[in-house]
Chain A
């Protein structure tokens, strides 16, 4: 009887470990709360500001998304402000999709080489180079774009050299390392026994890569590409330096154009808080935010689908 009581006392005693445990749980929970509050705060702030264009300044959402003239300082013949964001939306999507289209084959090709064909050389040379490239600040890419890509584009295609094409070139180089290293991870995640099974069935190495490894890695590769697209879509500085920053519908790939981000970075310092000009920029920011949420959603969906298959 006595020993039972003693045992109970021992078990119910609040030991130091138990106190530390609850303290640790409290700290990590607070950190989590803080992050959630910041995220919710940012989304709420951008949304409230961005919606003001439509709620306070009575711009129609439809016009905002479909009109082609961006000139918030001027009102049109009907007295409506000219805040058509279509050129920037088109610019952003064009530049994102084009750079992803160009970067994907290079990235996957490099990843296949590093992982399947020459793992030794890949690990020794390409891996460090890729990781180095990821770390280069975007202003450096923009600067190189400005002093190399723009003049070359000008020499080859005429015009000013600024435009979607130059932006695509710069973004291609910028997202290539990210997409490559994520593609490499995707290939690494394909179990070795898939390759063995395929080779043992008499498939050549190329057939194995093409029919087994790349198939099995497809969700991971898609995630890599979407990740690269998200990065391209959100990149501001480097793009702003080479795209020409003309809020016009891009008439060709070598005509000056703009993206959501480039208009934001060039314009946000020149407007007064609360004015229509300022609110319109916030609406662009809201579009950007929503798009990055969409990219995230896509990545998650792909991930879930991939897990279901595996």
Chain B
């Protein structure tokens, strides 16, 4: 149980329960303030006010179309050319949702892994070296070293260490997704955003991926969108429940799953949604 809960009602008179993590003494690395996202005229996110704790895993759950991906993609400005994002995204004290921000530098610090494993049609090695080479790293030893550590962190090294020059497209779905994680962490980001990274994977690969994420927590802050309640419960420290473009509840994961404050949340996590 958290001591300080902030229950607010908005215009829609919706029941909400969004915990301020600063109140529970968390070290906040990223937070959003009054974030609105519009696809043309269509407003897909009405108000996203969330705080993310350093070196913790935060899960974003909620029904399809509730704006989880929209929110996540706004965090590293992937919606730049697609949607209009207003409001503040404070990353270590800097508002990164302003035009003056160098999005390319920003995305190095806030990496992203997508729902569908999307390795490039290059070798395993080149996939990981890609982002480093963009930044002018040419030293072969340095590249070799980073490729190895990234693959190790993504728990893929032992399986591919003898075939780094093989095409990444030959990997299985689970391996490919872990390659994508290795690729994202090769540039040593601060935060890793994952949008349903396990939805295309079988149960074994999924559980391996979850183990990997739990390991990565030591080094990175992880924000993960998932439809899999058990997954959210297993790996995350905090969970945010999205519904119809709003964050309705945000709390520790155990609280969300065992003692949700909002009716819709409790319906959703217990599977009675609809």
In the bound assembly, the distance between CA atoms of A200 and B80 in angstroms comes to 12
Contact B78 A203 (CB under 8 A): no
A57: CB under 8 A from chain B?
no
Residues of B within 8 Å of A199, CB to CB, are 78, 107
A309: CB under 8 A from chain B?
yes
Residues of B within 8 Å of A212, CB to CB, are 120
Closest to A192 in B: B118
Chain B, range 107-142, C-beta contacts under 8 Å to A: 107-108, 111-112, 114, 116, 118-122, 130-131, 134-135
B44: CB under 8 A from chain A?
no
B180: CB under 8 A from chain A?
yes
In the bound assembly, the distance between CA atoms of A197 and B187 in angstroms comes to 14
A11: CB under 8 A from chain B?
no
In the bound assembly, the distance between CA atoms of A244 and B112 in angstroms comes to 61
Residues A197 and B118 in contact in the complex (CB < 8 Å), given A202-B107, A202-B187, A310-B169: yes
Residues of B within 8 Å of A62, CB to CB, are none
A191-211, CB under 8 A of B: which get 1 and which 0? 101101111111110010001
Residues of A within 8 Å of B130, CB to CB, are 198, 201, 203, 211
Contact A201 B118 (CB under 8 A): no
B36: CB under 8 A from chain A?
no
Residues of B within 8 Å of A197, CB to CB, are 114, 118-120, 180, 183
A304: CB under 8 A from chain B?
no
Residues of A within 8 Å of B134, CB to CB, are 201-203, 207, 211
A216: CB under 8 A from chain B?
yes
A300: CB under 8 A from chain B?
no
B37: CB under 8 A from chain A?
no
B184: CB under 8 A from chain A?
yes
- Taking residues whose C-beta sits less than 8 angstroms from the other chain, chain A's interface range is 10 to 19
A215: CB under 8 A from chain B?
yes
Residues of B within 8 Å of A215, CB to CB, are 120-122
B19: CB under 8 A from chain A?
no
Residues of A within 8 Å of B131, CB to CB, are 201-203
Closest to B184 in A: A201
Chain B, range 68-103, C-beta contacts under 8 Å to A: 76, 78
B11: CB under 8 A from chain A?
no
Contact A201 B78 (CB under 8 A): no
B273: CB under 8 A from chain A?
no
Closest to B132 in A: A201
Residues A202 and B78 in contact in the complex (CB < 8 Å), given A194-B120, A196-B118, A197-B120: no
Residues of B within 8 Å of A194, CB to CB, are 118, 120-121
Chain A, range 161-211, C-beta contacts under 8 Å to B: 191, 193-194, 196-204, 207, 211
B105: CB under 8 A from chain A?
yes
Contact B114 A200 (CB under 8 A): yes
Residues of A within 8 Å of B120, CB to CB, are 194, 197-198, 212, 215-216
In the bound assembly, the distance between CA atoms of A193 and B187 in angstroms comes to 19
Residue in A196, A198, A201, A309 with the greatest tally of chain B CB atoms within 10 Å? A201
The minimal Cβ–Cβ distance linking B146 to chain A, given in whole angstroms, is 13
Closest to A119 in B: B81
Contact B183 A202 (CB under 8 A): no
Closest to A204 in B: B104
B66: CB under 8 A from chain A?
no
Closest to A207 in B: B134
Closest to A308 in B: B167
Contact A201 B107 (CB under 8 A): yes
Closest to B135 in A: A202
In the bound assembly, the distance between CA atoms of A200 and B187 in angstroms comes to 11
In the bound assembly, the distance between CA atoms of A198 and B78 in angstroms comes to 11
Closest to A199 in B: B78
Contact B108 A202 (CB under 8 A): yes
The minimal Cβ–Cβ distance linking A99 to chain B, given in whole angstroms, is 30
Residues of B within 8 Å of A216, CB to CB, are 120-121
Residues A201 and B121 in contact in the complex (CB < 8 Å), given A193-B114, A196-B114: no
In the bound assembly, the distance between CA atoms of A200 and B104 in angstroms comes to 8
Residues of A within 8 Å of B121, CB to CB, are 194, 215-216, 309-310
Contact A193 B116 (CB under 8 A): yes
Chain B, range 190-204, C-beta contacts under 8 Å to A: none
Contact A309 B167 (CB under 8 A): yes
In the bound assembly, the distance between CA atoms of A255 and B130 in angstroms comes to 49
In the bound assembly, the distance between CA atoms of A198 and B187 in angstroms comes to 13
B41-80, CB under 8 A of A: which get 1 and which 0? 0000000000000000000000000000000000010100
In the bound assembly, the distance between CA atoms of A196 and B108 in angstroms comes to 14
Closest to A193 in B: B118
Residues of A within 8 Å of B169, CB to CB, are 309-310
In the bound assembly, the distance between CA atoms of A193 and B119 in angstroms comes to 9
Residues of B within 8 Å of A310, CB to CB, are 121, 169
Q: A202-B135, A202-B187, A309-B167 are in contact. List 4 more A-B contacts (CB 8 A).
A: A197-B118, A201-B187, A202-B107, A212-B120
CB-based closest 5 A-B pairs: A200-B112, A193-B118, A201-B131, A202-B107, A202-B108
Interchain Cβ contacts under 8 Å between A and B, 24 examples = A193-B114, A193-B118, A196-B114, A198-B120, A198-B130, A200-B78, A200-B107, A200-B111, A200-B184, A201-B107, A201-B111, A201-B131, A201-B187, A202-B104, A202-B131, A203-B104, A203-B131, A203-B134, A207-B134, A211-B130, A211-B134, A212-B120, A215-B120, A215-B121
